[in-house]
Amino acid sequence: MTWKNPFYFVSVFCRALRPELVGEMSLQSDAIIQALVQELLTKGIAAARAGQRHSARRYLFQATTLDPYNEKAWLWLSGVVDDYPLMLACLNKVLSINPHNAHAQAGAKWVRAQVAIRAHTGLRWLRGRPKRPADAFAGKLPPWIAEQLPVHSARPAYPTSRRKWVWLILVGALTGLLLLLILSLVRPSTAAAWLPFLATPTPAIAERTAALYAEFETAWNNRDWPTALTYLAEIEALDASYPALSSGRWATHLFWGQQLAQAGQLREALAHFEQALEFMPAEPIAHWEYTITANYLAGEESYSIGNWARAVEHLSVVYGMDGSFHDVRPLLKDSHYQLARQLQEAGQLAEAQAEYQRALEIAPDDQDAQNGLAEVVALLTPPTPTPTPPPPVQTGKRIEVNLTEQHLYVWEGDRLIYDWICSTGGYGSPTAPGNYQVLDKIPNAYASTWNLQMPYWLGIYYSGNLENGIHALPILSNGQRLWEGYLGQRVSYGCVILSTEAARTLYHWAEIGTPVIIHY
């Protein structure tokens, strides 16, 4: 017997003296346990506030072990564990005890937000990559803990009568045990007749499961996943209702799957994500991992057999969740391109145009997609006579575009007043050199062919029935600026592209009829 359960001696002493006292002492033992839980909770909170997170975890973990339904202990434990999945597990435990706990609700929302942020900013610590520590608070407590109580709140004191009662019971039990041991040494034959309980007791199931769980934690920390699952199976054989079984299996399968995913073993990883969901079906992290992995594998398989529409369907889900997940970016871009070629050959030109545009949203400088889009646009928009422009305005103003340098120059007479980097048409739809002039000015033009907004539009010449012009970086329907970061390269569909600030300045400076010279 170990000192982890000091109340064993109290119950033994009571049975030896008066068996009818056992029920009463059991109630007293419960009171002592609650007193110890409160003492551990107080020490854990004090350590957490002092920044001693390791000590706080130890005290609070002991408190939740003695009292698995202590709402406050689980809440504080969520603030000192070292990673987001464990934080969320502790907060879910609080909400299972009290679904209306506002601090736990706020904490769970905060943790899920952090997970989402990291998933979409490329950190991807959830798939087994080196994790960013959850306690990124520089010694501070997370918001749902820091805001619930004053920083310098007083430590709760126990009633003097309760402390005295606890110490009296412990001292009495130890004194009685000492007397019984002395008696067994002085007159062993007599003592043996009525002290059979002095024999070494068989370890209780609770002690054996606790020891096995400690071994499980060691294996889990060492990332020895098969051994960790073996210990959990042994715990289940002893006590199938052990409270940490489901969460332990969930965490083991989840992190094992993430490690396999990092190594590129996605099918094996998917099997572990499925098993993690069997133990905690509503858990969001395992669900996210399962969804992205399952769709990637389905998209990869569809790509390998040339089912482009199916590949686009699955890979688009993955790209929307994490655009840097394995090889999803090149696979999805090529799936859009191949689907566009397939639709173009079938005469479905509008659908093909949309697929080319989606491929260019992923890879704006892809020459094959640019050329394909130019072909479809030419087929959809046959050339029409170019309108005769009005005579140029004689103001001394002129705009010069150098296609070789990818620069736009603004002149007033012989004085250069602006010099900006620009982007002109790609190789499939080049900007045509020539002498033009500003035909029209539109604050925010709309290109229905590509579903683009083009701020600060200055029209300069027609190509078929489409007008090319000078404008700011175009805006996609989702609000993203197309070709951002590509200024200085030939990427457009024929127009001259400037930064938003430069386009705004030029729009207000230029007049209808201002000459525009485009040359190499």
> What pLDDT score does 307 carry?
92
For residue 181, give the H/E element and its range.
helix 160-186
**DSSP 3-state of 474:** coil
Q: Which residue do the tokens 């996609």 mark?
A: 476
The string of pLDDT tens digits covering residues 147-163 is 554 444 334 444 444 55
Question: Is residue 518 pLDDT above 90, yes or no?
Answer: yes
C-alpha distances in Å from residue 294, one per residue of 218, 319, 339:
31, 13, 22
The string of pLDDT tens digits covering residues 468-494 is 999 999 998 888 888 888 899 988 888
d(CA 95, CA 493): 55
CATH for 482: 2.40.440.10
Question: Is residue 450 pLDDT above 50, yes or no?
Answer: yes
Q: Which range (56-65, 387-396, 471-480) has the least confidence?
A: 387-396
Question: Is residue 176 pLDDT above 80, yes or no?
Answer: no
> What pLDDT score does 1 carry?
35
Q: How confident is the model at residue 166 (pLDDT cuts 50, 70, 90)?
A: low
The string of pLDDT tens digits covering residues 215-251 is 888 888 888 999 989 988 988 888 888 888 888 888 8
The string of pLDDT tens digits covering residues 275-318 is 888 888 877 888 888 999 999 999 999 999 989 999 999 999 99
- Mean pLDDT, rounded, for 189-196: 48
> What pLDDT score does 202 carry?
47
**DSSP 3-state of 218:** helix
Partners of 436 in the beta sheet? 516
Question: Are 392 and 457 contacting, i.e. CB atoms less than 8 angstroms apart?
Answer: no
d(CA 200, CA 166): 26
**481 is a domain residue:** yes
Q: What is the CA radius of gyration of the chain?
A: 36
Between β-strands 440-447 and 452-463, what pairing exists: parallel, antiparallel or unpaired? antiparallel
Q: How confident is the model at residue 393 (pLDDT cuts 50, 70, 90)?
A: low
- Mean pLDDT, rounded, for 492-499: 92
Question: Is residue 502 pLDDT above 90, yes or no?
Answer: yes
Contact residues for 258 (Cβ-Cβ < 8 A; gap 6+): 126, 127, 128, 269, 289
Partners of 409 in the beta sheet? 400, 419
Question: Is residue 342 pLDDT above 60, yes or no?
Answer: yes
**455 is a domain residue:** yes
Q: Domain range spanning residue 435?
A: 397-519
Secondary structure (DSSP) of 245-293: HHHHHHHHHHHHHHHHHHTT-HHHHHHHHHHHHHH-TT-HHHHHHHHHH
> What pLDDT score does 222 carry?
87
**489 is a domain residue:** yes
Secondary structure (DSSP) of 500-511: HHHHHHHHHH--
**3 is a domain residue:** no
The string of pLDDT tens digits covering residues 84-123 is 888 888 988 899 999 889 888 888 888 877 776 665 444 3
d(CA 144, CA 111): 10
Question: Is residue 22 pLDDT above 50, yes or no?
Answer: no
- Mean pLDDT, rounded, for 313-341: 90
Backbone angles phi, psi at 234, to 5 degrees: -65, -40
Give which of 105, 44, 95, 40 is closest to 71, Cα–Cα.
Answer: 95
**474 is a domain residue:** yes
**370 is a domain residue:** no
**430 is a domain residue:** yes
Contact residues for 303 (Cβ-Cβ < 8 A; gap 6+): 311, 315, 331, 334, 335
> What pLDDT score does 117 carry?
63
**DSSP 3-state of 408:** strand
**353 is a domain residue:** no
Degrees to nearest 5, angle at CA 243 with 132 and 234: 95
Backbone angles phi, psi at 462, to 5 degrees: -100, 145
> What is the total count of domains within the chain?
1
